[in-house]
Structure 1
Amino acid sequence: MTSTDHPDPVAKRPVALVTGAARGLGAAIAGALEDAGWAVAGFDLAPSATTLSVQVDVTDASAVEKSVRIVESDLGPIGALVTVAGIYEELPIDDMTDSVWDRMLAVNIGGTINACSAVVPLMVARGSGAIVTISSDLGVGGSQGDAHYAATKGAIVGFSRSLARELVSDGVFVNSVAPGAADTAMLAADSPWRAESFLQSLPVARLVRPDEIAGAVLFLLEAGDTMVGQLLSPNSGATI
């Protein structure tokens, strides 16, 4: 675990923690939060272009907890948590070995739980906070060749809704965003989700843009007690 770019603690802005902030959807969300006036701490294995970049493995609960303490020391109280860190691969069920399952579970649902476990007690103690977890449209509808990924993303939905019920009386509001296929590097050039036949099946005939997903996250973070345990799904109309 390493941290970089320690900021001036005098510059006080509301603090958001974004996991998986170095690239793709996480970078888009972190950038949108920075533009909206948040000081963003980015957790990732690689450096992120955020107010505070912390290189940490989200599957390591102890390292995540230590990194959260760094954020609170350098930036101040964490007011928002967005759990984006995740991996994706397309694989037939017959090819899913124990190690493949273990890795997908450890990063996607394990990383989400580790981040929440480290931040929630701090938010509860202060009586305020907002959490947005990133699930997937596949976690709701499933998909051929994505069973392990869909399983972890479905688990995030159940976890988040349960957490929302548990924490609402403490002033902490939990919601989720379940994007459809997004135009990021996570989707390979030859991915079936980029095939023209799939794109033409969508009402808007294109992949979801990262900025659209970031907009859904910002909406939930700013919604206060009007949104509790909800699931927004920017998906280009794939699921209506």
Structure 2
Amino acid sequence: MSPDSPQPPRAGGVAVVSGAASGIGAAVVAMLAAHGWRVGGLDLLASAGCDMSVAVDVTDAAAVAAAVEAIRGELGPVDAAVSVAGHYAMAPVSDITLEQWTRMLRVHLGGLRNLSRSVLPAMVDRGAGSIVAITSELAVGGGDGDAHYAAAKGAIIGFVRSLAAEVAPRDVRVNAVAPGPTDTPLLAPDSPWRAAEYLETLPIRRLGSPEEVARCVAWLIEEGTFCVGEILNPNAGAVI
């Protein structure tokens, strides 16, 4: 690393993780905590393993801002933020109601926007920080019955790349991780993504694990100092 290269957030810094109570979010919390980070978790439910857990709806911009400010006051300046909060549902386009469409966008894209706006001013002022968003391989490849989910996740990629270009000159890095189907409670036991016929189409013949996705997130935060607007794709070869 050259003297002029941006420095990664320090181990033992403070991270905020949305969707921290389960699945990929919980794995990110555990991974960062194991690396020495102090973690503030945002979720509708209590988040185990966090140094501070705040119950919040990520679609509520004012509530997210207040939660981040409370974490900052308790744990210190926020060095990294990870937007994981989301939900998954399958439906043909003709069956997606306006309410379902809007909610998908508000949780995924709106949640990322609200978290980013809450942490960015201080990061920009300090000239350091990292934001990582969880998108999906469906944002790239699409999927039958996944239009509203894929649209929301695709919008995240556009947001990440645009925000990355905006704040990179201040040494704030914005990137994303686009997992393939991952073994979390979001995938019901009868989900087609768990079917043997689907798994046989994947080069590694299995779902990803939340821990594998969390490893990508931690790498982007701690080591990926040359990554700006990048999308890592831990998708078992579903999209190559």
TM-score, normalization by structure 2: 0.94
Secondary structure in structure 2 of the residue aligned to 1:175: strand
Equivalent pair of 1:29/1:214 in contact (CA under 8 Å): yes
Alpha-carbon distance between aligned partners in 2 of 1:134 and 1:224, rounded to the nearest angstrom: 16
Greater CA drift, 39-48 or 220-229: 220-229
AA aligned to 1:16 is A
User: Where does residue 76 of structure 2 map in the other structure?
Assistant: 76
Secondary structure in structure 2 of the residue aligned to 1:145: coil
Q: 1:209: Cα distance to partner?
A: 0.8
Q: 1:125: Cα distance to partner?
A: 1.0
Alpha-carbon distance between aligned partners in 2 of 1:216 and 1:225, rounded to the nearest angstrom: 13
Q: Does 1:115 align with 2:115?
A: yes
Equivalent pair of 1:90/1:145 in contact (CA under 8 Å): yes
Equivalent pair of 2:12/2:35 in contact (CA under 8 Å): no
User: Where does residue 190 of structure 1 map in the other structure?
Assistant: 190
TM-score, normalization by structure 1: 0.94
Equivalent pair of 2:72/2:78 in contact (CA under 8 Å): yes
1:202-232: CA deviation from partner (whole Å, max 9, x where unpaired): 0110001111100100110013531111100
Secondary structure in structure 1 of the residue aligned to 2:201: coil
Q: Does 1:39 align with 2:2?
A: no
User: Where does residue 124 of structure 1 map in the other structure?
Assistant: 124
4+ long deviations beyond 3 Å: none
Equivalent pair of 1:104/1:152 in contact (CA under 8 Å): yes
Alpha-carbon distance between aligned partners in 2 of 1:77 and 1:27, rounded to the nearest angstrom: 21
Listed as ranges, the matches of 1:82-231 within 5 Å are 82-231=82-231
AA aligned to 2:22 is R
Alpha-carbon distance between aligned partners in 2 of 1:228 and 1:111, rounded to the nearest angstrom: 20
Q: 1:13: Cα distance to partner?
A: 3.3
Alpha-carbon distance between aligned partners in 2 of 1:71 and 1:125, rounded to the nearest angstrom: 18
User: Where does residue 29 of structure 2 map in the other structure?
Assistant: 30
Number of corresponding residues:
229
Listed as ranges, the matches of 1:48-87 within 5 Å are 48-49=47-48, 50-87=50-87
User: Any gaps of 5 or more consecutive residues in structure 1?
Assistant: 1-11
AA aligned to 2:113 is I
Equivalent pair of 1:178/1:231 in contact (CA under 8 Å): yes
Equivalent pair of 1:173/1:224 in contact (CA under 8 Å): no
AA aligned to 1:24 is G
Secondary structure in structure 2 of the residue aligned to 1:226: coil
Alpha-carbon distance between aligned partners in 1 of 2:100 and 2:68, rounded to the nearest angstrom: 28
Greater CA drift, 216-225 or 142-151: 216-225
User: Any gaps of 5 or more consecutive residues in structure 2?
Assistant: 1-10
AA aligned to 1:232 is L
User: Where does residue 12 of structure 2 map in the other structure?
Assistant: 13
Equivalent pair of 1:80/1:129 in contact (CA under 8 Å): yes
Secondary structure in structure 1 of the residue aligned to 2:116: helix
The one of the two structures with greater contact order (alpha-carbon pairs below 8 A, sep at least 6) is 2
Q: 1:55: Cα distance to partner?
A: 0.5
